[in-house]
Amino acid sequence: MASVSGWALSPQAEAAKPEPDLAAGRAAYGQYCARCHGPQAAGDGYDAKRLYPRPRNLTEGVFKFRSTATGTAPTDEDLFRTLTNGLPGSGMPDWRHLDEAVRWQLVYYVKSLSSVEQDAPAQPVDLGRDPGPRHADLAAGKRAYEKMGCAACHGAQGRGNGTSAPSLTDTWGRATRPADLTQGWNYRGGSDTKAIVTRVLAGIDGTPMPSYAEAASPNDAWQLAYYVRSLQQDPNWSMIAHAPLAREGLPASLDDPRWQRVPRVDVRLRNAMNEQGEWALPQTVSAVSFRVVHDGAAARFLISWQDPSDDRGDSPDGLALALPSAKVVGDSVTLQLWPMRFSPPLDLCVWSAKSLKTNEGVVRRYDTLLQGASQAVPLDTQAAYEDGQWRVMMTRPLAPANLPNAAQITPGRFTPLAFAVWDGGNAGQRATSSWVDVVMDAEPAKAHASQ
């Protein structure tokens, strides 16, 4: 079984596995890893507080991404894979650019930092056999998803919004969240079916995600993995969004089928740092999707994002669509850092889940608008929350008449646009995007499916 369950590395990689040389490993560690993982590997490097989850204390011997029984050491190949691919969605970068020999020395060095190898040697889990995509039975996979209780944490549609999600903490006492299974690009340990089977059977130690090795047969786990894979949605990352001209009128509602003809653009978000310059909360909103159309006079946006909880109380969910104000010339500040002292005002369209309304204003701070500033202009808005997802439709004049210094959107020209999203259920954490360019096209929508 051992050979089956190790990660399938190329035969060359196996052959290249060199003899351990701890001095070489230690030197490479000091050069590449210490700034995050710390000089003594205690997870307390210089950059540690600016990362969430925190870099691992490698002396504890707790490893998340294993192909081995819960509580046992990872295989060398597990660690090699983590180093090679990094852990997407966390601060752990990939080290593909390092020679394989160096990566192997780092693997040996990481292993030497804790006693887990001696205390609980790697015990590969039986991954069974891949039935192959043609024998994948998504209905059986869905049944397994329900029977195994994945939804308790990951939610019925896998959006990370299960009933237990907000209460989860990791072994180190920090708040953590179940992965949003629809965001394959955000899986730490790989989004392919084999990676999913491995996660399910081995569990993710140090986190609430348990091992199902005793609960699910390898065959059920494969069907489950094909189902989970089918939940993943391909993102359309883009720096440019086109807003087609809607000759037959703007889509009238959130569910208007005319939206389907408008291309969707996805934008990544990152949590803003707190006042101490730290990342102190898990990332619950990782991306925003939007579509935009215009009719020559106004632009209508359909914006959606996954937020695990519907919060409309005093710490409400919220969204800001940011445009540079008319006074700003050239590149505007990055939204990650805004607002700072002396930073320019922005034109913000701020929607709050408390009022379900949007107000636009040219402001130097978010809170002036969140608290309903007096000089704000209301925008026509519809919003709905369903199973872990907000959808907000807002309409903004291309050239607002009654708002001094508002951004003027000129068809045919690039208009920068960025998003900030607040999750009330995550202590009001704000997550922001970088700027994307939007062009109001002179052409009607091309009839192509965009999902």
* 205 is an interface residue for another protein by CB under 8 A: yes
248: Cβ contacts below 8 Å, ≥ 6 apart = 258
| One-letter identity of residue 211 | S
- Specify whether the CB–CB gap between 379 and 359 falls below 8 A: yes
- Residues binding ligand HEC (CB under 6 A): 32-33, 35-37, 47, 51, 53, 55-56, 63-65, 79, 82-83, 87, 90-93, 95, 106, 110, 148-150, 152-154, 164, 168, 176, 178-179, 181, 187-189, 196, 199-200, 204, 207-209, 212, 224, 228
Nearer to another protein, 138 or 152 (CB): 152
Q: Applying CB under 8 A, which of residues 3, 10, 167, 276 lies at the interface with another protein?
A: 167
- Specify whether the CB–CB gap between 82 and 221 falls below 8 A: no
Two structure tokens written together for 175: 């708040």
For residue 54, the minimal CB distance to another protein (Å) is: 18
Whether the bond between 339 and the residue before it is cis, its omega within 30 degrees of 0, is yes
- Specify whether the CB–CB gap between 280 and 272 falls below 8 A: no
Q: Whole-angstrom Cα distance, residue 451 to residue 444? A: 18
Q: Applying CB under 8 A, which of residues 91, 210, 339, 416 lies at the interface with another protein?
A: 210
Q: Applying CB under 8 A, which of residues 16, 120, 384, 439 lies at the interface with another protein?
A: 120
Q: Whole-angstrom Cα distance, residue 292 to residue 242? A: 7
Residue 320's CB: how many other CB atoms inside 10 A? 24
Q: Applying CB under 8 A, which of residues 71, 89, 93, 372 lies at the interface with another protein?
A: 71
For residue 362, the minimal CB distance to ligand HEC (Å) is: 37
* 402 is an interface residue for another protein by CB under 8 A: no
Nearer to another protein, 209 or 398 (CB): 209
For residue 17, the minimal CB distance to ligand HEC (Å) is: 16
For residue 425, the minimal CB distance to ligand HEC (Å) is: 16
Secondary structure of 79-135 in the HEC alphabet? HHHHHHHCCCCCCCCCCCCCCHHHHHHHHHHHHHCCCHHHHCCCCECCCCCCCCHHH
Q: 34 touches which of ligand HEC, another protein, none (CB within 5 to 8 A by kind)? A: none
Binding site for another protein (CB under 8 A): 62, 70-72, 119-120, 147-149, 152-153, 163-164, 167-168, 171, 203, 205, 208-215
